[in-house]
């Protein structure tokens, strides 16, 4: 999904804060939100793609002003309502007021694209320039950019498909090396960036 969650390569958000010896949970409610999420997975409320997409669908302001585990809580609460496990009225009665849920699913884009080719180590590839309102694990900042395959991993479930259908489609994952100046222009500091990409995201360069 092309949304506020896809912050890779974007400027203007300041320097990331690094917390030395950061605890797994800062507050007890975060521990409970994490436990609730895994319990919901056990109930079949969401798979990995559906869960990530429920977070991507959050209101942009809510997403940027809330903590990490609040994203989890909003996403899994949204899935509980969408799958009929709880109603909005029940959720808000327990919360003691309005509970912000994510926007409805609106799926189109990468999930419907079949792969165009397979690749080997050393192949020059371009990331397909596809924009989507559905779920995708293809970062916006690499779309349309050229790189080189440096590793081929085993086939894995395509998240773009599993987020919108009760099925698993397996495709190889390629580790693609990009030059920083290919991604951010000639003034970028020289470096290499490696991104793991499913087969359907790529085409021959």
**Residue labelled with tokens 């991507």:** 56
Q: How many CB atoms lie within 10 A of CB 57?
A: 22
Tell which CATH architecture fits domain 110-204: Roll (2.30)
The structural domains of the chain, with segments of one domain joined by +, span: 1-105, 110-204
Residue 39 has pLDDT above 80, yes or no: yes
* Fold type of domain 1-105: Cyclin A; domain 1 (1.10.472)
How far apart are alpha carbons 139 and 6 in whole angstroms? 7
pLDDT in tens, 88-136: 999 999 999 999 999 998 766 556 678 889 999 999 999 999 888 889 9
Say what the pLDDT of residue 105 is. 87
Q: Which residues make Cβ contacts (< 8 Å) with residue 59, sequence separation at least 6?
A: 100, 102, 103
């Amino acid at each position: 999904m092309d949304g506020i969650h896809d912050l890779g390569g974007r400027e203007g958000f300041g320097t990331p804060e690094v917390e030395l010896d950061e605890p797994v949970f800062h507050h007890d409610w975060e521990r409970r939100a994490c436990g609730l999420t895994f319990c919901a997975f056990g109930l079949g409320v969401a798979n990995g793609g559906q869960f990530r997409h429920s977070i991507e669908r959050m209101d942009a302001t809510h997403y940027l002003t809330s903590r990490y585990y609040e994203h989890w809580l909003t996403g899994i609460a949204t899935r509980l309502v969408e799958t009929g496990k709880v109603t909005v009225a029940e959720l808000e009665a327990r919360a003691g007021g309005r509970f912000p849920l994510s926007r409805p699913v609106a799926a189109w884009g990468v999930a419907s694209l079949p792969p165009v080719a397979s690749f080997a180590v050393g192949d020059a590839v371009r990331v397909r320039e596809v924009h989507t309102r559905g779920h995708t694990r293809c970062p916006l900042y690499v779309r349309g950019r050229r790189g080189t395959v440096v590793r081929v991993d085993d086939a894995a479930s395509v998240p773009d498909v599993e987020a919108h259908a009760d099925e698993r489609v397996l495709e190889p994952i390629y580790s693609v090396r990009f030059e920083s100046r290919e991604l951010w222009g000639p003034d970028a500091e020289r470096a290499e960036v490696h991104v793991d990409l499913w087969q359907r995201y790529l085409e021959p360069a």
